[in-house]
Structure 1
Amino acid sequence: MAGTDTVLAQHTPTRGRQGAGFRPDIEGLRAIAVGLVLVYHAGVDQLSGGFVGVDIFFVLSGFLITGLLVRELERSGRVSLSRFYARRAKRLLPATALTLIASALLTWAFIPVTQWRAFGGDIVSAALYVVNWRLADRSVDYLAEGTGASPVQHFWSLAVEEQYYIVWPLLLVLVGLVVRRTRLRVRPTMAVALALIVVPSLVWSVHLTSTQPAVAFFVTTTRLWELGIGAAVAIGAAWWVRVPARVAALAGWAGLAAILASALLFSSATPWPGSAALVPTLGTAAVIVAGFRAAGPARLLALRPLVWIGGMSYSLYLWHWPLVVAATFAAGGELGAKVGLLVTAASVVPAWLSLRLVENPVRFSTWVAAKARRALTVGLACTLVGVLAGVALLLAVPQGPPPPPDTRPEDPRTLVGAEVIQDGGPQAGAPRDTVRFMTPAPTDAVDDVPEAYDRECQVDSDGSEPRACAWGDPDGTLDVAVVGDSKMLQWTSALDEIGRSEGWRVTTWTKSACAFADVVQTQGGKPYESCVAWNDAVLAELTAAPPDVLVTSQRATSAMPPDGGDSSSEAMSAGIERRWQEVAALGTRVVVLLDNPAPPDEVYECVAEHLETLTACAFDRDDAVRSSAASEQLAAATALGDAVGVVDMTPWVCPTTRCAPVIGDVLVYRQGSHLTDTYVRSTVAMLRSELIDAIGATAPTEES
């Protein structure tokens, strides 16, 4: 989207005047694009595909920027990279810096401190125009599930454009060399160069959207073809002016209809971008082509209100999203369409002020325009300001109370944790308002995870190929298979230590949000097919080499019944039972590690806000147990009787009627109902005893 403003700046020789080459219909298209995005982000369900506004911007940007470059190449036979980047720097970066400063301040004022580190990093990435890759990594990072919507998430599309405009001008420099040496025509040669970008990008987009849709949405490689469509329209400008007016009008109206149909009929469930994005992008291209003959919707799009909004679209896009995110956090949840519309409408005020007081003064400054070096210096300064805004937010992240010098352990992971319950009884783990110190700090909770994540032992939601990781004693006499989702993986550190001390060879197979059960789970309202495939593959691994013991746990509480219909807990229990029967038939002892109590809210966020009143973050144990998967697991275990051993760690996680957020100076929970690795490590002695009892005669004795 940013590129459209850059080129229009070249087409507007005097401030506020429409000069030669100015296309008011383009401004109208920009107004439609930003309007779709704003209404979609406001939460209006009827516009479920409003995100296509970004795709419209990609096409417009490719068209306008390429039009500028091709004319320069035809005029002089070369492209001046310094002038090109200077124009972009002075147009885009002052507004970017101002928005990033505001985003940092809004985060500091309205967003929980537990999010500051992630969002500070996002702001730095946005200032450097690489945030789309950071968001792509986060989209498939199970550990990032507790991270809310970033106030600079919308910068992903700007990052895509800027990365495109590193590659495309460089390619055109080569085109210029070829043209000068071979006397080939500029536009056909550019078309060939463009095809080298568009075709592979489109093919890759379709592929990656089908295999890793969360990643495909953000990465540059799946979006280059959209900008390329706009570039192709610019290259073909000489042909479009000769299109019959009636044909152009028909194409324009059909294109506008395609855009509106996309916004109304597509939704977040539509694989995107992929082939579906051809509808709004080709529709946009058709509308642009019609504008060459001032035909079709060109007059409608040239209406003054649309032109005014289009002229401010870059500012609106920058400002609306940080306000929506801040308002959402301040409200403690979803805003609702009415409030969302009010917030997005309010973004007109800072957008207009930014345009008048920051963007235009720099954009139209004769001193800045006099030398490319000056514009590039201004751009560099603005980039540094944006980076510093993110760094300032990172430095502002508070820490929990540090341990006094006389009690600070050499290894923070040796803190007491659950051991206080073993030594002092259940009341030692009761909620209390203050602690001497705390580890991990609530702002570090999301990073307090087992080593298994660094070893990439957990299969993500898209994968179906089992990934085995070895723990414990490699020369041990008891084979223990550990299978389940992240609620099983959270115990890896303790199981590793127990395995080494008891002579157990421990092998983990885990997959994100996937229970080890003969059922079809759902994810995002759709059957979780990769979970089914992973289950079958893991069962095949166990069948090929049956372990002595299977230890399993899970978070999922419901699944679809075999004959279809709505998901239910009964279907999940039945599926668990069937899977355990299959494993038990191999001669393997099955042990279920009951799901730990599930808190109603993010405990670590509450703790960060209530360091002096921690009891405000306590929650009811019975409710938490009911919210966990323990009842489904117990139902299956009861049905199978003595064939299944049961381990319940609830007394060591929540020993009283109200669950404490901090026990033995250790923070108990990280994201959702996951336990911090520090707390899990503190349960080793208790878990060892419980497991040995549940395994029974299968476990080797010292005499054996």
Structure 2
Amino acid sequence: MADRDSAAGFRADVEGLRAIAVLTVMWFHAGLGGLTGGFAGVDIFFVISGFLITGQLVREVEASGRISLPRFYARRAKRLFPAAATVLVATAVLTLLALPRVTWRDTGGDLVAAAAYVVNWRLAARSVDYLATDTAHSPVQQFWSLAVEEQYYLLWPVLLTLVAVLIRRWRLPVRPMMGVGLAAITIPSLAWSIHLTSSDPARAYFVTTTRLWELGIGALVAVGAPVCRALPPRVGAALAWAGLALIGVGLWTQDTTTSWPGSAALVPVLGAAAVIAGGAAGGWANVGGAAVGGVRGGGWGPVALLGIRPLVWIGGLSYSLYLWHWPLVVVATHVFDGLAPWQGAAVVAASVVPAWVTQRLIENPLRFHPAVVARTRTALLLGLVCSLVGVGTGATLLRAGGHSGFAPIDLSSIPVSRAGAGVLGTGATPRPVEIDQHPVGVTPDPLRAPDDAPRLYADDCQVELAPVEVKVCRYGSPGSSKVLALVGDSKAAQWFPAIERFADTHGWEVRTYLKSSCPWSPALIYGGVDADHRYVACQEWGRAVLARLSGPERPTVVVTSGIRRVAYAPDGTEQLSVMVDGYVDYWQRLGRLGVPVVAVMDTPQPGLTAYVCMTDHPGDFMTRCRGAWNTGSGGLALVEAVKRVPTARLIDMNPWVCPQQGCWPVIGHVLVWRQSAHLTATYVETLAPVFDARLTAALRELRVPAG
């Protein structure tokens, strides 16, 4: 993404490598298959950027003994910010025209973060936020890598400036001292990247600290350029070809199951570094092609391939291509409800048009305008204005997405019998009623549905995918002799509002033992963050919970639920019986200790995201957004397990969730669903009287007094 200058002038092989980087990313995003590691094009960009920018800084220190930070940041601003602002504004317009209103608020926030070059941290936080699992891909997600670069270039030039002071004062050699400074950044970053990728890969992908080493490797090549140029031409050619081959191996063999970045990213990073270093020994090619093969034997290296006119042209356009192709892919995916490979290819190919127009009419005219070239202050002001345009655009979109258009309603203003599940009554079965097809007023607002979750999420009571620690939160009546342990995944957690009401009514203490996507069972299930997606962390966490519930934290009763139907058998197949056996194992162990289990039936999977559908179809949302009834993805396993454990009972709340087997989006003015298959906390609160009656009856059968 950096300027095209290098330590040795314009290098067509580097420009061609830049083309390969952007083409592989575009190929991957088009869904064309084959290049399963195409996402690594971003890592190649990091190496190129580290090489080119550091080359400029090294030459400046060698020439003057210092670095002008204002001039450095001015070069970055005039090169990057105008095109970025253009794409951010265009993305906001596309969002308003083509994407669901429910995405506007999140996208507006992303635009602000992208314009401020901190969007990678926002995406990192979202990637590990269980409540954000329904959030669509951001149309400005590609800005995460630009944010990493800009954060790196806030740090690196300042460090080099300090190194330059030491060099002047002690008359130290420039490049060796810079190499030491680079090592101080690169080595710790690589070590941290390997660690965090293994423990928290979702966050590791986006954060700056796990990516600094990739730019640092490119910077080390720039610092070591004299050594590279001194290599025999054939050695340099062999090194460059080996690097290109290494990149190819990574593109073909690595895929989205590869933990990234971590040590796996060494493949494209070292490959790109080898191409650049080897090319320095073998010469470079100019745009006209007259010097293809370069000097000193450059014809032996891959410069003859990388320096061809089409690749050099694409390399010169790569920054705009990278910015433009992704929002077009996101918008087209929504408009066409998914993209076939040929459609994806057409979309990314079409991005050449706005990319070229942006470069010719906005980026280059502003970048090379005499006033911008001549005055550092003007260039910095240009960058500031562009950033403010992006921030303002995002803020405008945030405001536009602040309300869905549905009339709000205060449930306290209407009788309980007309609010939420209250319309179905509190009897043994739901009262047969005609569901209101045209409700006047809905709560929560569909745009706020994902936030309408049990308060235990705000209390950080659910363990995420990677950790195996047991986190316990306490509610209700602390110190009570009657203790209810709520154990399992989010399908158990969704019932917390009703359980808390039960505890407050009957004087129970509630303790929560919850983990994302992890039903409480010793069975090995699919999921988690491991490269093979076997959720080993869930097993370890489950065993730790069992030890605590069997020891001094032994509760009066365990309430659980789960989203999984099958688990891995010894032969590697996924089977219902293995999941059932796992439940039975844990439940029987507790039963022998005098602790019964109450399982809550898994709620149905409606097959759509109700709140998104509602904002797309505000006029007929009750019919268009009605989900399909089913027993839920984990329901059958729970049913079968309860049959085999005498100390277990089942509560089925689904007749009140999907009355008459109709999974309505709104019942009694209350939005039923948040995410795709979880209930809003508001609707669960209206179910509290029914849940209380069902749980009390189950405890009575188990000879556990509720009150």
Range into which the TM-score falls when normalised by the shorter chain: over 0.9
Deviations 1:431-460 (CA, angstroms, capped at 9, x unpaired): 443212111111100011111011110000
> SS of the residue aligned with 1:66?
helix
| Matched residue, 1:402 | 407
Aligned residues of 2:603 and 2:632 also touching (Cα < 8 A): no
In structure 1, the gaps of 5 or more residues are 12-19
Tell me what 2:482 maps to.
478
In 1, Cα distance between the equivalents of 2:263 and 2:354?
36
1:100 to 81, 88, 103: 88
State the TM-score, normalizing by the size of structure 2: 0.93
Separation in structure 1 between the aligned mates of residue 157 and residue 414 of structure 2, nearest angstrom:
53
Structure 1 residues 164-175: aligned runs within 5 Å: 164-175=152-163
What letter is aligned with 1:107? T
**Aligned CA distance change for structure 1 residues 522 and 593 (closer, same or farther; 3 Å):** same
| 1:536 is aligned to 2:537 | no
8 A contact 2:699–2:705 mirrored in 1: no
- Letter of the 1:297 partner, please give it: P
User: Which one of 169, 175, 178 corresponds to residue 181 of structure 1?
Assistant: 169
Distance 1:141 1:321 in 2: 23
2:363 aligns with one of 348, 351, 359: 359
* TM-aligned CA deviation for residue 162 of structure 1: 0.4
* Percentage of identical aligned residues: 49
Instruction: Give the match for residue 15 of structure 1.
Output: none
- Superposition CA RMSD, Å: 2.0
SS of equivalent residue, structure 2 residue 660: coil
User: 1:477 touches 1:700 (CA, 8 Å); kept in 2?
Assistant: no
Unpaired runs of 5+ in structure 2? 284-297
Distance 1:537 1:74, change over 3 A: same
Query: How many angstroms does 1:537 deviate by?
Result: 0.3
Q: 1:408 to 1:209 in 2, by over 3 A?
A: closer
How do 1:297-376 residues align onto structure 2 when only pairs under 5 Å count?
Answer: 297-333=302-338, 335-376=339-380
* AA partner of residue 424 (structure 2): I
The farther-off stretch of 430-439 and 266-275 is 430-439
Asked if residue 74 in structure 1 is aligned to residue 77 in structure 2, the reply is: no
Please say if 1:419 is aligned against 2:407: no
Q: Secondary structure in 2 aligned to 1:493?
A: helix
Q: Which residue of 1 aligns with 2:560?
A: 552
Partner deviation per Cα, 1:151-205 (whole Å, 9 max, x = no partner): 1111111110000000000001101111111111111111111110011011111
| Residues 412 and 290 (structure 1), Cα distance of their counterparts in 2 relative to 1, 3 Å cut | farther
CA distance in 1, matches of 2:333, 2:579: 34
Deviation of 1:612 (Å): 2.5
The answer for the alignment partner of 1:564 in structure 2 is 571
Contact 1:213 1:272 in 2 (8 A): yes
Cα contact 2:629–2:661 (8 A) shared by 1: no
SS of 1:47's equivalent?
coil
1:564 Cα deviation after fit: 3.0
AA aligned opposite 2:514? T
Cα gap change, 1:701 to 1:181, in 2 (>3 Å): closer
- Match among 638, 643, 646 for residue 643 of structure 2: 638
Deviations 1:534-591 (A, max 9, x none): 1100000011032111111111121112x23211223212221222112211101211
- Kindly provide the CA deviation profile for residues 223-250 of structure 1, in whole angstroms up to 9, marking residues without a partner as x: 1111011111111111111110110011
Distance in 2 (CA, whole Å) between partners of 1:701 and 1:494 is 14
Which one of 383, 387, 402 corresponds to residue 383 of structure 1? 387
CA contact (8 A) 1:33 1:57 kept: yes
Q: Which residue of 605, 616, 621 maps to 1:609? A: 616
| 1:670 matched to 2:658 | no
Distance 1:585 1:567 in 2: 29
Structure 2 Cα separation of the partners of residues 100 and 413 of structure 1: 47
One of 498, 502, 505 as aligned partner of 2:502? 498
1:442 counterpart residue number: 446
Pairwise CA distance, 1:58 = 0.5
2:131 matched to 1:128?
A: no
**TM-score (norm: length of structure 1):** 0.94
Q: Tell me the distance in 2 between the aligned counterparts of 1:430 and 1:662.
A: 13
Distance apart, 1:418 and its partner CA: 0.9
- Provide the rounded CA distance (Å) in 2 between the counterparts of 1:673 and 1:115: 19
- Once the two structures are superposed, the pairs formed by residues 641-660 of structure 1 within 5 Å of their partners are 642-660=646-664
Counterpart-to-counterpart distance in 2, 1:701 and 1:246? 83
Query: How far apart in 2 are the matches of 1:691 and 1:105?
Result: 51
Q: Name the counterpart of 1:204.
A: 192
- Say whether the 8 Å CA contact 2:674–2:680 is kept in structure 1: yes
Distance 2:623 2:581 in 1: 38
Q: How many residues align?
A: 683
Q: How does 1:198-347 map to 2 (within 5 A)?
A: 198-292=186-280, 293-294=282-283, 295=298, 296-333=301-338, 335-347=339-351
Q: Deviations over 1:96-129 (max 9, x none)?
A: 0010111111222222222221111111111111
In the superposition, relative to structure 1, how do residues 486 and 679 fare at CA in structure 2: closer, same or farther (>3 Å)?
A: same
User: Following TM superposition, by how much is the alpha carbon of 1:673 offset from its aligned partner in structure 2, in angstroms?
Assistant: 0.8
Could you list the runs of 4 or more consecutive aligned residues of structure 1 that deviate by over 4 angstroms after TM superposition?
410-415, 423-431
Q: How far, CA to CA, are the matches of 1:462 and 1:505 in structure 2?
A: 28
Q: Which residue of 2 aligns with 1:17?
A: none
Question: Which residue of structure 2 lines up, in the alignment, with residue 39 of structure 1?
Answer: 27
Out of 606, 624, 628, which is 2:629 matched to? 624
Relative distance call for 1:410 and 1:89 in structure 2 (3 A) is farther
Q: Is the alpha carbon distance of 1:364 and 1:87 closer, same or farther for their aligned partners in structure 2, counting shifts above 3 Å?
A: same
**Counterparts of 2:433 and 2:52 in 1: how far apart (Å)?**
65
